[in-house]
């Protein structure tokens, strides 16, 4: 199942995404059924925390739910997550090579590098990315597969990790490279307002990972102004998702709706010579198999 948070007028709603035959080339072919009344909440994290109770009801009754009104707006699946989005740095070899020592932490990591983005950084599809011109002159993009935690837990063994995964979504780990480099840590360069585009929807695990082992093999792509910049496969992660869950959950309780962004493949702007960083007006699109396409424009 694919779940979304959306806005209809001024109201936040949750829905089930369904595909329909596109009626025109511009038609994305995705529509949403409004299940807010059916599940009794407009908070997707709440739906996921009650998944045992709600999944059967959604399966049986979502088809009869009303369609979202024409002109509805996609929001991030978790527009204001309960806590920070966990992110993994330098988790694809070719990306580690392309960024070299520009991250302040040279070389292949021997353990996962973890940082976070505050809830205030999250934006949804089509929302503008603030270039923060007074703060940074090195704005960059990072297309990433993100994991959504289902049943919470701590001290999760790798062999049990898949049971704690509800599903997946897309994150663009927008980064101020100069802040990342100059401050010797990553929060300041990656936690700015609007630096966590997320969505357009949240897909349950079986949609993306049929084997159910928490090791999906999907293609992650990123375009800037229509030009393909990144194309990687998640089988190339240095630390796979069960390893990440084990590392993160050691002495730290993961909760339903927590998001872990797994790192970006090569092709980021700073990796080019000369760098090809983002400018006001640029359009960044990230697509992952089964997870749709996340489009955001840098505010002019």
Q: How far is the CB of 140 from Mg ion (least distance, A)?
A: 9
Residue with smaller CB distance to Mg ion, 35 or 88:
88
Residue 152 tokens, joined: 């919470």
Q: How far is the CB of 210 from Mg ion (least distance, A)?
A: 26
Q: Name the residue with the smallest CB distance to Mg ion.
A: 173
Q: How many Cβ atoms from other residues are within 10 Å of residue 51's Cβ?
A: 17
- Sign of the Cα torsion 145, 150, 156, 161 reads negative
Residue with smaller CB distance to Mg ion, 173 or 209:
173
Q: How far is the CB of 186 from Mg ion (least distance, A)?
A: 9
Task: State whether residue 233 is helix, strand or coil.
Answer: strand
Q: How far is the CB of 142 from Mg ion (least distance, A)?
A: 4
List of residues contacting Mg ion (CB under 5 A): 142, 173, 264
Contacts from 191-194 at CB under 8 Å and sequence distance 24+? 191/116, 191/117, 191/118, 191/121, 192/121, 192/130, 192/132, 192/135, 192/136, 193/120, 193/121, 193/130, 193/132, 194/121, 194/123, 194/127, 194/128, 194/129, 194/130
Q: How far is the CB of 215 from Mg ion (least distance, A)?
A: 19
Residue with tokens 């007028």: 9
**Residue 75 burial by Cβ neighbours in a 10 Å radius (0-12, 13-18, 19+):** buried
Q: How far is the CB of 294 from Mg ion (least distance, A)?
A: 14
Residue 297 tokens, joined: 């424009």
Residue with smaller CB distance to Mg ion, 243 or 264:
264
Residue with smaller CB distance to Mg ion, 2 or 190:
190
Residue with smaller CB distance to Mg ion, 216 or 256:
216
């Amino acid at each position: 199942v694919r779940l979304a948070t959306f806005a209809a007028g001024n109201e936040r709603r949750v829905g089930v995404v369904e595909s329909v035959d596109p009626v025109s080339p511009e038609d994305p072919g995705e529509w949403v059924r409004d299940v807010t009344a059916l599940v009794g909440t407009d908070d997707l994290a709440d739906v996921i925390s009650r998944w045992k109770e709600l999944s059967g009801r959604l399966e049986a009754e979502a088809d009869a739910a009303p369609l979202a009104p024409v002109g509805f707006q996609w929001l991030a699946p978790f527009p204001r997550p309960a806590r920070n989005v966990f992110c993994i740095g330098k988790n694809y070899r070719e990306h580690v090579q392309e960024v070299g020592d520009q991250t302040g932490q040279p070389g292949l990591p021997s353990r996962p590098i973890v940082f976070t983005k505050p809830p205030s950084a999250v934006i949804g599809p089509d929302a503008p990315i603030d270039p923060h011109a007074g703060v940074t002159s090195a704005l960059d993009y990072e297309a990433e597969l993100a994991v959504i935690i289902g049943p919470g837990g701590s001290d999760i063994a790798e062999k049990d990790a898949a049971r704690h995964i509800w599903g997946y979504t897309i994150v663009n780990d927008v980064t101020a490279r100069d802040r990342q480099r100059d401050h010797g840590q990553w929060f300041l360069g990656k936690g700015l307002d609007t630096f966590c585009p997320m969505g357009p929807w949240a897909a349950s695990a079986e949609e993306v990972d049929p084997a159910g082992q928490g090791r999906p093999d999907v293609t992650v792509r990123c375009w800037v102004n229509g030009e393909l910049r990144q194309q990687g496969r998640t089988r190339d992660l240095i630390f796979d998702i069960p390893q990440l869950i084990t590392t993160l959950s050691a002495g730290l309780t993961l909760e339903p709706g927590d998001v872990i962004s797994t790192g970006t493949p090569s092709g980021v702007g700073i990796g080019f010579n000369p760098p090809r960083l983002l400018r006001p007006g640029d359009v960044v699109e990230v697509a992952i198999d089964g997870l749709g396409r996340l489009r955001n424009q840098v505010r002019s």
